[in-house]
Chains A and B, each alone.
Chain A
Amino acid sequence: MTAVEAHNIVKTFGDVVALDGVTVSFEKGIVYGLLGPNGAGKTTLIRVLTTLLRPDSGSASVVGIDVVADPVGVRHRIGLAGQFAAVDDFLTGRENVEMVGRLYNLSKKDAARRAEDVLERIRLIDAADRPVRTYSGGMRRRLDLAASMVGNPEVLFLDEPTTGVDPRSRLDLWDLIEELVDAGTTLLLTTQYLDEADRLADRIGVIDRGHLIDEGTSDELKDRLGGNVVEVHVMGDDRATAAGALTTVADGELMTEGQALVIPAVNGARTLTAAVRALDDAGIEPQDIGLRRPTLDDVFLSLTGHRAEEEDHSEAPEHPSQRV
């Protein structure tokens, strides 16, 4: 069964084209990862799919229900955890989750039972009766996740679930999300972290500047680079010369990743040998050279010409309604 089906979605804010004809669909039972940098249109797409925004054109449905024609119908079937933990500081964790349960039209009793259940699953049961203002950042994110699950949604939307979370909490959240998936929850998550998409997503859609530019499993995307890559580290002065030498032997376009020069290596070891020889001929001694599997970062770079992860991960807009 189809979980999400979006066709040619366009959404503009004034002069800014946030979504420029995005088409995406995936079936229930999988984790779909939407990967892209800040401002790529990830949040806008989530907001369209969760009925918070009307698309300018195009159509979208969630579990077969049209998001524009029957938004209330969609809301019964989904859960959303936004970029900021939307939890109330002055309520306890349990009260927060129960409140959301009541707003899903659960009876008091059912809301209490479901809250107990999700708080258990999310490992917050020991802190359930403490006010949320005593929670750490990671606990708040988990509580937000619990609230989004209390209505037993068929599709769960997580917008950058680990942005702004410390590394330890991030690993915890990953474990939790994997447990949810094992229990059969269908998930759409957005992320600007390649390792997150790599680890959690069954399918990855690469989104940039309002376009979905590629899609596939992590392995498929990597294979599209032609198997392996050769990564070369040289002294700063030698970079230009080395780049020139490598271009002559590369099986594709040369990429620079930080200090490293990377070329696709369709012929594996033969490309590596050729690269060593070319560098030698150019009189350059590399500090390090090796053959490796491409990462999603390589994929992203080759697709878009720029990196997915930005220098500053904390750069979040101040106001949710201004998010694009």
Chain B
Amino acid sequence: MTTAIRHRQRVKLSDALTHTAVITRRNTLRVVRLPQLLLFSTIQPVMFLLLFNYVFGGAIAIGGPGGSVSGSDSYINWLIPGILVQTAVFGATATALGLTEDLGAGVIDRFRSLPMARSAVLAGRTIADLVRNTFVNGLMLIVGFLMGWRFEQGIPKMLLGVALALLFGYAFSWVMATIGLVAKTPEAAQSAGFLPIFPLVFASSVFVPTASMPDWLQVFAENQPVSVIANAVRSLMIPEEALLPLGLDQATLIWQSFAWIIVMVAVFGPLAVRQYRRSVG
């Protein structure tokens, strides 16, 4: 029988990086060449921005006991940091959809029959989604600026805030990758993906301060990752003196954010890879 079992071959790290780059390019080209994809994935967040600012903005009182926290009395300065995080999280659902489409089309079978790193398929997918998220969030900032959004702590801190939102979106892509690979079809992935997203995004400080929520909900809303990230981004954009009344401390929020991002990737990265091995088996 099979006597000639050689040493088990492994994929070299340098090859794995090349594979990841190849898959990232493929997934990004899809968005670039099918502009309607980008168009519609951009329209939705911009619509959210417009709706929340002009429909709810007037009714939502931003300000703790100390008065205005936005520094300029404008809801948009509160909203933009939150909506960057919301956009990144919603954008992560593309990871689940993209993977289920590839599964259905037999593309994943092809990839798995090639001597490539298994993680490259997932890494190439999540990185491509990060690239797209970056583009969409950049556009949001431009639209926000036209609507009157201003940042108060200089460009480097503003950029750090944007980066935090995007990194969180990237971490969330791994959650979505796991869900997509469990769900297997785009339809199921679509519904399953939004199950964790809705409570996390809406029971949070993304759109409104948590102070007005019932006590039991506040406990959840103040400690769950989306609020932590949204507050951290906010702490880097609104005036520093406005943080205090909210009980926000910039340094704490930033390390907590990084901790959440690292924990999510550390947990869901291996889970997704494991599910990838199984779901195609």
Interface set of A (CB-CB < 8 Å, partner B) = 5, 7, 47, 50-54, 59-61, 64-66, 69-70, 72-73, 75-76, 78-80, 82-86, 88, 90-91, 95, 99-100, 102-105, 131, 147, 151, 318-321
Residue contact B115 to A88, C-beta cutoff 8 Å: no
A-B contact pairs, 28 of them (CB 8 A): A5-B2, A7-B1, A47-B109, A50-B113, A52-B109, A61-B1, A61-B5, A66-B2, A70-B7, A70-B8, A70-B9, A75-B116, A76-B115, A79-B113, A80-B113, A82-B106, A82-B109, A83-B106, A86-B107, A86-B110, A88-B26, A88-B107, A90-B30, A99-B26, A103-B19, A103-B114, A103-B116, A320-B108
| B21 nearest in chain A by CB position | A102
Q: Determine if B116 and A69 form an interchain contact, defined as CB atoms under 8 angstroms apart.
A: no
Q: Is the CB of A76 within 8 A of B26?
A: no
Closest B residue to A53 using CB positions: B281
The 8 tightest CB contacts between A and B, nearest first, are: A61-B2, A64-B4, A80-B113, A75-B115, A86-B106, A86-B110, A84-B106, A72-B9
**Seed contacts A7-B1, A59-B1; 7 additional CB < 8 Å A-B pairs:** A65-B4, A72-B10, A80-B113, A88-B30, A103-B115, A105-B18, A321-B281
Q: Are A91 and B29 in contact (CB under 8 A)?
A: yes
Q: Is B236 an interface residue (CB 8 A)?
A: no
B111: interface (CB < 8 Å):
yes
Q: Taking each of B7, B112, B184, which has the highest tally of chain A beta carbons within 10 Å of its own beta carbon?
A: B112
A51 in complex: contacting residue of B15, B19, B30, B113, CB < 8 Å: B113
Across-interface contacts of B111 in A (CB, < 8 A): 103
Q: Tell yes or no: B280 within 8 A of A by CB.
A: yes
Q: Tell me, yes or no, whether B55 is within 8 Å of chain A by CB.
A: no
Complex CA distance for A84 and B107, rounded to whole angstroms: 9
Which of A52, A54, A131 neighbours the largest number of chain B CB atoms within 10 Å of its CB?
A: A52
Judging by beta carbons under 8 Å apart, are B33 and A131 in contact? yes
List B contacts of A75 (CB < 8 A): 113-116
Among A75, A76, A103, A151, residue most surrounded by chain B Cβ atoms (within 10 Å): A103
B106 touches A65 (CB 8 A): no
- Does B105 reach chain A (CB closer than 8 Å)? yes
Contact in complex: B9, A319 (CB < 8 Å)? no
Binary A-proximity of B176-193 (CB < 8 A = 1, otherwise 0) = 000000001100000000
Whether A319 contacts B1 by the Cβ 8 Å rule is no
A171 to B46, CA, bound (A): 52
Say which residue of A50, A90, A105, A319 sits within 8 Å of B33 (CB atoms).
A90
The distance from the CB of B122 to the nearest CB of chain A, in whole angstroms, is: 14
Given contacts A65-B6, A76-B9, A88-B30, contact A321 B112 (CB under 8 A): no
List residues of chain B with CB under 8 Å of any chain A CB.
1-11, 15, 18-19, 22, 26, 29-30, 33-34, 103-116, 184-185, 279-281
Nearest A residue (CB) for B277: A54
Q: Is the CB of A73 within 8 A of B9?
A: yes
Q: Are A319 and B115 in contact, CB atoms less than 8 angstroms apart?
A: no
CA distance A85 to B115 in the complex (A): 19
Residue of A nearest to B100 (CB): A319
Contact B104 A320 (CB under 8 A): yes
A80 to B114, CA, bound (A): 9
Partner of B281, one of A50, A54, A78, A104: A54
**Contact, CB under 8 Å: A73 / B6:** yes
CB distance from A2 to the nearest CB of B (A): 9
B280 and A321 contact, CB distance less than 8 A: yes
Tell whether, in the assembled complex, residue B109 and residue A320 are in contact, meaning their CB atoms are under 8 Å apart.
Answer: yes
Complex CA gap A47/B108 in Å reads 13
For residue B116, which residues in chain A have a CB less than 8 angstroms away from its CB?
Answer: 75, 103
Known: A88-B30, A99-B22, A103-B22. A61 touches B113 (CB 8 A): no
A68: min CB distance to chain B, Å: 9
| Cβ–Cβ contact A61 & B105, under 8 A | no
B115 x A72 contact (CB < 8 A): yes
Complex CA–CA separation, A83 to B110 (angstroms): 11
Asked if B2 contacts A51 (CB within 8 A), the reply is no
Task: Please tell me which one of the listed residues A54, A69, A105, A147 contacts residue B5 in the complex, with CB atoms under 8 A apart.
Answer: A69
State which of A60, A80, A86, A147 has its C-beta within 8 Å of the C-beta of B105: A86
> How long is the Cα–Cα vector from A102 to B117 in the complex, in angstroms?
12
CA distance A5 to B3 in the complex (A): 11
Take A91-B29, A321-B103, A321-B279 as given contacts and tell me if A66 and B109 are in contact as well, using a CB distance cutoff of 8 Å: no
Let me know if A73 and B8 touch, CB within 8 A.
yes
List chain B residues, Cβ under 8 A from A103.
19, 22, 111, 114-116
The CA-CA distance from A99 to B108 in the complex, in Å, is 14
Distance between A289 CB and nearest chain B CB, rounded to angstroms: 47
A319→B104 contact, CB < 8 A: yes
Say yes or no: B22 contacts A82, CB within 8 Å. no
CB of B124, distance to nearest CB on chain A (Å): 10
Residues on B with C-beta less than 8 A from A80 are: 109-110, 113
- A84 nearest CB across to chain B (Å): 4
